[in-house]
Structure 1
Amino acid sequence: MAGLVVVIDIGKTHSKASLWTRDGQELARTSHSNRQVEANGYPCLDIDGIEAWLRASLSDFARKGTVAAIIPIAHGAACAVVRGRELVAAPMDYEAELPADILEAYRAHRDAFSETGSPAMDHGLNLGVQLHALEARIPDLFTGDAVIVPWPQYWAWRFTGVAVSEVTSLGAHTDLWSPLGKAPSPMAVKRGWAQRLAPLYRAGDVVGTLLPEWSAATGLPAETQVHAGLHDSNAALLAARMHPEIRDRDAAIVSTGTWFVTMRSSKETQPAFETLGPGGVVNVDVNGSPVPTLIFMGGREVEILSGDGIRIDDPQYEGAIMAALRDCVSRGAMILPTFVPGTGPFPKASGEWLNRPRNPVEKAATVALYAALLTDLALTRVGARGTIMIDGRFARSKAFVSVLARLQTGHPLYVANQEADLAIGALSLLSSTLSLQGSLELVDSCTLDLSAYRSRWLEALGVPREGAPICDRTSHGS
């Protein structure tokens, strides 16, 4: 089908919309900072604010050419409950505090990790606990024909009025899906949630065409097709698999943003769930195949650790940060996780600086070392054996990627030099003429000897040797 494609990427902290030709030329892009709001007595994602921004963005895109298709991408820790055209329960903010009794009661119902590939996570990061909390708050939540719509598919519903669900969204640490069984989890069936999931579509399937209100408000053609959409990390995985260095190989992809998501792409159909440890999840790709993954809030930690200082991906300080790495290593400047409790490989540990530098450049260099050490550990946990690719915001941090290349000596490490990898992944589902506009760049590793530094870091965390079980470090102060 001819015409332009809009890709909508609804992240946790930022949202993006981009306009594309079918062969992969980006014509326009806009972004939006998301807020948390209150609705029905609980913290929600700002659907009204995002929608207002989308209306303005789509109106701008409509003036640039004929839009024929829209496909949404979003994170996996939100959903809406809808009844026909009515929104029954707005998507909950997954960082909202939930009462201890709600969490405790819910966890008595959860399936084993070996069943779902979904660990027990804090706050509302497991979608099941959000549904449990909503049922307690809204007694008639699932009366009539109410259905559960994952966050990417919420936007497909909002554009078309048609409610669907999709496997990459259901398989993103939700507790609702069994990756090996390729079906809703036993808990989801017992709780009645499986029967309330909106009909299952593939990510590239057409859900419907634009509602008249959207066509009138934006100037987009009424016949614009809206596709089901997918989980953001899986869009990154699709984009990565387009590169010849990754395609049909045993490779690992690290998608960096608010979350650092490390995925192993291989032809193995039954990943070893038990080797992942804390922070490990088993995602599901667009074909329903399990993808061993480890996640941690790397971007959020970088923000916290950097404060108002120098960010590790700031290009004007690239050379200075690289030059500072050697002194940081020799002085033992080090960061122990975690500054975002409840997530990642060390969910119960308190973050700590060791030999904290006063110089802001050296502080940034230490943050880069920390991000690389955590990513190196994630790669070990997912069983990375071959090529490694880094995409997203922190692929632009030379200190981070060059240190990681050194830690992963023997595995060629590439960075994607195209900004819109998620969008390209989504676009690949719709276009047979798509070609990559950017190539991968092989990273030169830094020349430092990091073996002793890495060993000290692992020993401080109770991981004395590579591949040893992770022990939670809970005694350190922040």
Structure 2
Amino acid sequence: MTLPRHIAVIDIGKTNAKVVLIDSQSRQQVAVRTTPNVVRREGLYPHADVEMLWTFIVGSLRVLGAEHGIDGISITTHGATAALMAGGVLAMPVLDYEHDGPEQTAEAYGEVRPPFSETLSPLLPNGLNLAAQIFWQANAFTQEFARATAILTYPQYWAWRLTGVLASEVTSLGCHTDLWAPATGTFSSLVSAQDWSGLFPEVRPAASVIGHLRPDVAQETGLTSDTPVTCGIHDSNASLLPHLGQHEAPFTIISTGTWTIAMTVGGSTAQLDAGRDSLANVDAFGRAVPTARFMGGREFDQLVPNIAEPRDEEIAAVIDRDVRVQPSVTPGVGPFPQAKGGWTVDAETLGAGERTAAASLYLALVTEASLGLCGLGREIIIEGPLARNRLFASALGRLTGVPVYASGDATGTSLGASMLFGFGEAQRASHAAIQSLAVPGFDEYAQRWRRSIA
């Protein structure tokens, strides 16, 4: 198949949803439309507003298609989310993974979930283990669950809405779901034990063209009905995709957004700790990728209400005055899930630049701790919003002692998802080398931070 020139990427993050138009020849973003990804609170439980998102997606495709033309559509979404289908409609709403409903059946679920050695998926709170969501839905809403004819991971739900084709896919099945066994490349023992095997459609490669636009969708968007649509990919793995085969292993990708996710391709899974939010993701080739994560974007937003590029003297003052943020700002996740952290000073006394500096150093320190779990590659490439945070990147270089690069791409996730078309073709991404932080006292600052973790 000829590589589509203009690829529309449906990119649904936990905080925002986007439709990004990528030029496959220049690897540049041509246009983007965004909307907040809101959670609806009425009904059975908090859930994704899929109809609002669908209206946004269709409208964006219509506008971008009219302005630039669209030759293919690719999809990427956050993980820990599934749509339970009853034929051509939802059997129940698409559960918000931050809802604590699954905690109601946590004890019973703990008795049936597979061991970490099988899934490389740690036990996580609320609905962060997708199988825990499904288990809770099956037990709390028996009538609704009995109507389910298929379980679709989130990218494949949107692929179905576009094409009418049902599929499963390994990057979404393999992201801390308890549903997948990376070593064998099969569904975990839980799936058959719970009699869910018949609900998961055939596994298709993320990079496969799952189908073409349904006639009604083509008419609504103004696109042609032969517009190809990929199966879709989990967002962290989309960020990883441009780098597969492009670097000497092991190498580390830091994918940033609501979550800061460190993935070391070619690394060992031996140091993964089920109690510290480290796990194995599964890449587009179906291989286990040691991974560690924390809610870096969410925490940064909480810590810094007004972002300001810190001046050199503000960075120096934060380090000299020992202004720190200790983990964890978001409890229950990350490498220090039991630690109750926060500012070591009254944050209201700090200027915007100082707050930004201290929060950036905090993110670098937590990232370094995460790398102790998933392994440190020969080089680090930062994708997403934190690629623009020079202090974070330079501090990470000082902490790890390996070269750090900031991705030159506008958004690693959307670019990676666009590369599902033509996957495997050699396309070296552009990166900017970051100079390591050289502020006096930073090494001692980092040591104090580590010693102070409760």
> Structure 2-normalised TM-score?
0.93
Moved more, 27-36 or 430-439: 430-439
**Is 1:254 matched up with 2:254?**
yes
Task: Tell me the alpha carbon deviations over residues 332-378 of structure 1, each in whole angstroms, 9 at most, x when there is no partner.
Answer: 21111112112111222222221345122222211111111001111
Distance 1:353 1:305, change over 3 A: same
- Name the counterpart of 1:476: none
CA contact (8 A) 1:407 1:450 kept: no
CA contact (8 A) 1:147 1:196 kept: yes
What are the residue-to-residue correspondences of 1:72-471 with 2, within 5 Å?
Answer: 72-98=75-101, 100-141=103-144, 143=146, 146-241=149-244, 244=246, 247-266=247-266, 271-272=269-270, 274=272, 278-306=276-304, 308-309=305-306, 311=307, 317-320=308-311, 322-356=312-346, 358-360=349-351, 361-409=353-401, 411-431=402-422, 439-448=430-439, 449-461=441-453
TM-fit CA distance, 1:432: 6.5
What are the residue-to-residue correspondences of 1:40-79 with 2, within 5 Å?
Answer: 40-79=43-82
CA contact (8 A) 1:22 1:434 kept: no
Please, what is the CA RMSD of the aligned residues? 2.1
Moved more, 103-112 or 291-300: 103-112
TM-fit CA distance, 1:7: 1.0
TM-fit CA distance, 1:225: 1.4
* Count, aligned residues: 448
- Name the counterpart of 1:466: none
Give me the whole-angstrom Cα distance separating, in 2, the residues matched to 1:184 and 1:434.
Answer: 29
TM-fit CA distance, 1:89: 2.3
Gap regions ≥5 residues in structure 2: none
Give me the whole-angstrom Cα distance separating, in 1, the residues matched to 2:114 and 2:206.
Answer: 26
Give me the whole-angstrom Cα distance separating, in 1, the residues matched to 2:370 and 2:358.
Answer: 18
For 1:340, the aligned partner's letter is: T
Moved more, 16-25 or 368-377: 16-25
CA contact (8 A) 2:104 2:136 kept: no
Give me the whole-angstrom Cα distance separating, in 2, the residues matched to 1:253 and 1:104.
Answer: 35
SS at match of 1:414: strand
For 1:328, the aligned partner's letter is: V
Task: Tell me the alpha carbon deviations over residues 425-472 of structure 1, each in whole angstroms, 9 at most, x when there is no partner.
Answer: 1222212797759611110112124222222211222xxxxxxxxxxx
For 1:271, the aligned partner's letter is: T
**Is 1:37 matched up with 2:11?**
no
TM-fit CA distance, 1:295: 0.9
Moved more, 428-437 or 255-264: 428-437
For 1:12, the aligned partner's letter is: K
TM-fit CA distance, 1:66: 4.0
For 1:92, the aligned partner's letter is: L
SS at match of 1:345: coil
Moved more, 136-145 or 280-289: 136-145
Distance 1:25 1:446, change over 3 A: closer
Distance 1:192 1:99, change over 3 A: closer
For 1:363, the aligned partner's letter is: R
Task: Tell me the alpha carbon deviations over residues 53-85 of structure 1, each in whole angstroms, 9 at most, x when there is no partner.
Answer: 111100012213442321110111100011332
Give me the whole-angstrom Cα distance separating, in 2, the residues matched to 1:169 and 1:387.
Answer: 26
Distance 1:108 1:200, change over 3 A: same
> Structure 1-normalised TM-score?
0.89
Task: Tell me the alpha carbon deviations over residues 360-399 of structure 1, each in whole angstroms, 9 at most, x when there is no partner.
Answer: 2222211111111001111222111411111110111111
Distance 1:20 1:366, change over 3 A: closer
Task: Tell me the alpha carbon deviations over residues 31-61 of structure 1, each in whole angstroms, 9 at most, x when there is no partner.
Answer: 1111001464111011011111111100012
- Name the counterpart of 1:314: none
Give me the whole-angstrom Cα distance separating, in 1, the residues matched to 2:72 and 2:87.
Answer: 23
Moved more, 452-461 or 289-298: 452-461
Distance 1:21 1:366, change over 3 A: closer
For 2:117, the aligned partner's letter is: S
Distance 1:299 1:25, change over 3 A: closer
For 1:240, the aligned partner's letter is: H
TM-fit CA distance, 1:137: 3.2
SS at match of 2:19: strand
For 1:324, the aligned partner's letter is: E
Give me the whole-angstrom Cα distance separating, in 1, the residues matched to 2:183 and 2:385.
Answer: 32
Task: Tell me the alpha carbon deviations over residues 116-173 of structure 1, each in whole angstroms, 9 at most, x when there is no partner.
Answer: 1111111111101110121123324454770110001110011111111100000000
Q: Percent of counterpart pairs with the same letter? A: 34
CA contact (8 A) 1:318 1:399 kept: no
Gap regions ≥5 residues in structure 1: 312-316, 462-472, 474-478
Distance 1:319 1:458, change over 3 A: closer
SS at match of 1:287: coil
CA contact (8 A) 2:130 2:176 kept: yes
Give me the whole-angstrom Cα distance separating, in 1, the residues matched to 2:334 and 2:70.
Answer: 40
Distance 1:258 1:145, change over 3 A: closer
